């Protein structure tokens, strides 16, 4: 089931309330704390490239990876800022070399519905990070899916488009299903109706920590969005900071 196909064309319209600039400042502060003031940075699950472009303006050489051709087409239509965009599944991404840091925001990792897939992404991040490279990512929490948006309907109406976003959270599987209905104004003045289904999985913070360790990454911080505090019971989005401290282990022949 493909997501971010038709939604891609109105994604930036409906995401204009996301505090990307604040997130970027927080990410840059963390990178600088770890001595990373320039160099190659990978934006994993980059979407239409909003965070990628912000980090580029901060002086980092950016690579953006996303599985959606439609999202990447929009990213590439922005003014060229020397960003390399690659259409790849994050579970199988390949780079030409290592990078100083990897960032993954806007709950992109929640789209991985199997624990082994999340672990695979962490292993790939480890493989492509420089020694002491930093991995910064966020994830929506179980509290957000179960208590905030679960079994709710969200609607927005803009000048040329609207959406209806119906949520259903299955507690047994910890998977949240989004049924998205879009109405997008066409050149002839009529509205086209599209449907997409998105699925995201909620992970316990402890699960994430274990998977990072198994991948050879050292978790150095977990905090609630916009704070330096540990996530509380009402945390909706948690930020993780991990570092590659373990070297690559070559198989002996």
Mean pLDDT (whole number) for 90-99: 96
Whether residue 232 has pLDDT greater than 70: yes
Q: Which two tokens stand for residue 221?
A: 């911080």
Q: How far apart are CA 243 and CA 40, in angstroms?
A: 15
CATH 2.20.25.110 fits 144-201, yes or no: yes
The two beta strands, 129-140 and 99-104, are parallel
Q: Exposed/middle/buried for 207, CB within 10 Å: 0-12, 13-18, 19+?
A: middle
Residue 13: per-residue pLDDT:
61
> Tens digits of per-residue pLDDT, 173-182?
999 998 888 8
Distances 243 to 11, 65, 220 between C-alpha atoms, Å:
31, 20, 7
> Tens digits of per-residue pLDDT, 144-156?
999 999 889 988 8
CATH T-level topology, domain 6-140+204-244: Rossmann fold (3.40.50)
Whether residue 8 has pLDDT greater than 60: no
Q: Where are the domains of the chain?
A: 6-140+204-244, 144-201
């Amino acid at each position: 089931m493909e997501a971010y196909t038709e939604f891609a064309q109105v994604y930036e319209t409906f995401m204009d309330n996301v505090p990307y600039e604040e997130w970027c400042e927080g990410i840059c502060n963390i990178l600088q704390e770890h001595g990373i003031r320039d160099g190659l940075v990978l934006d994993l699950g980059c979407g239409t490239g909003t965070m990628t472009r912000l980090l580029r303006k901060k002086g980092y050489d950016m690579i953006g990876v996303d599985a959606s051709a439609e999202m990447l087409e929009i990213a590439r239509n922005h003014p060229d800022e020397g960003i390399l965009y690659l259409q790849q599944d994050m579970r199988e991404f390949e780079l030409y070399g290592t990078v100083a840091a990897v960032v993954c925001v806007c709950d992109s990792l929640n789209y991985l519905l199997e624990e082994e897939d999340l672990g695979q992404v962490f292993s790939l991040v480890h493989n492509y990070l420089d020694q002491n490279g930093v991995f910064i990512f966020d994830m929506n929490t179980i509290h957000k899916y179960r208590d905030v948006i679960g079994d709710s309907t969200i609607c927005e109406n803009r000048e040329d488009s609207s959406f209806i976003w119906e949520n259903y959270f299955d507690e047994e599987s910890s998977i949240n299903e989004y049924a998205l209905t879009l109405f997008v104004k066409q050149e002839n003045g009529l509205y086209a109706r599209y449907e997409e289904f998105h699925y995201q999985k909620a992970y316990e913070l402890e699960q994430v920590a274990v998977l990072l360790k198994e991948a050879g990454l050292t978790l150095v911080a977990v905090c609630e969005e916009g704070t330096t505090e540990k996530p509380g019971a009402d945390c909706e989005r948690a930020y993780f900071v991990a570092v590659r401290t373990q070297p690559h282990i070559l198989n002996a022949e």
